[in-house]
Amino acid sequence: MIRAVAALALVAAAAVAAPPKWHQLSSSYSYEQYLVDYGKQAPRGGDYLARKSLFEGRLAEAMTHNANPAATWKRGINHMSDWLPQERKALHGFDAGSKNLRSTRAQDTSSAAALPKSFDWRTKGVVTPVKDQGHCGSCWAFASTAALESHVAINTGVLEELSPQHLVSCMSNDNDCGGFGGCSGATADLAYAFVKQHGLASPYSFPYVSWAGNTNGTCYTDDRANAAATVTGVVDIASNNETATLAALVANGPLAVNVAAIPWHDYESGVFDGCAMSGEGTDIDHVVVLVGYDEDSLIIRNSWTPRWGEDGYIRLKRTQACGDDKSPSDGVGCNGGPASVSVCGMCGVLYDTAYPQGAGLSL
């Protein structure tokens, strides 16, 4: 009897852990079942009705999108399907690298003909698991940290996780570059400048506490903030140049890249081509990590949990088409920067790319 009860419990747990994929969605999938599948507590009062309405609208949009045989990507249901618009926007925290910062500029001596047809750092054993930034706009810290983890592993042979919270809590953003700091955004260039000066701690001594998005946490200066890794600087890649970007990726390691990610929220799988070359499709507001590519797509690591997208990743269609980001101050630059910039690639992915220089372990 005990074994039978245990078996039933395992079956129930498995059911909760396996929400429907895009091809399993139907109009009968209820908000109540969605809450169960994602382990969420039912909202109260008017909040319940508002979130249920959002969920039902997004479910209908997903089913309509997926019914199009020409679609190259699938829209799904995930943990953000009942989030309010302002909650989704808070994920981005603005961001994209500022060109007002002192950095090394990589020379474009690359040739497309010399590049392999496909490449993926995940197959090299130098990429840590996808993480969850929660409701905090700390994408910049997670992307900077993830790229640094890989560069440390490439340079030393040690794959070690590092602390995004150290950056969120301690790094200043005096010129409001890509946001206002902490959960309100910053840049990879700033992050690596901070690591060059202070190092970056381990997540075990400096754990993530900003998941709820209501605090940047405390900047500790005692032993818990001792550096686990260091850099000597940051290298910026030639802007809006796919060949230079891929050459830097193959030769050096994963890159911190800046994208317009508002259209990404409902992505589940496939090659994403959902960013227009204007409006939200070119409004750079999010930092992620380029880890590889194939003939059709760029492989991007996100920080919205492994349950989003393809195990936490998205494949962006390769294109060199360009558009204008007409609000770079909420995603690309610092105070006093240009009013508009040209961004190329799907979701502007080629505009601003960088990687840490001289990454290593602290002694």
Active site residues: 139, 286, 302
Phi/psi region, residue 30 (left: phi>0; alpha: psi -120 to 50; beta: rest), is: beta
Rounded Cα distance, 55 and 96, in Å: 30
Q: Which two tokens stand for residue 318?
A: 């390769």
User: Parallel, antiparallel, or unpaired: how do β-strands 104-105 and 233-236 relate?
Assistant: parallel
Q: Strands, E, within the chain: which ranges?
A: 73-75, 104-105, 119-120, 229-230, 233-236, 255-259, 267-272, 286-293, 297-301, 313-317, 322-325, 341-344, 353-357, 360-361
Rounded Cα distance, 188 and 356, in Å: 9
CA torsion, points 305, 145, 109, 314, in degrees to nearest 10?
A: 0
Rounded Cα distance, 35 and 68, in Å: 28
Exposed, middle or buried: residue 289 (CB in 10 Å: 0-12, 13-18, 19+)?
buried
The letter for the amino acid at 252 is: N
How many beta carbons lie within 10 A of that of residue 161, not counting itself?
A: 15
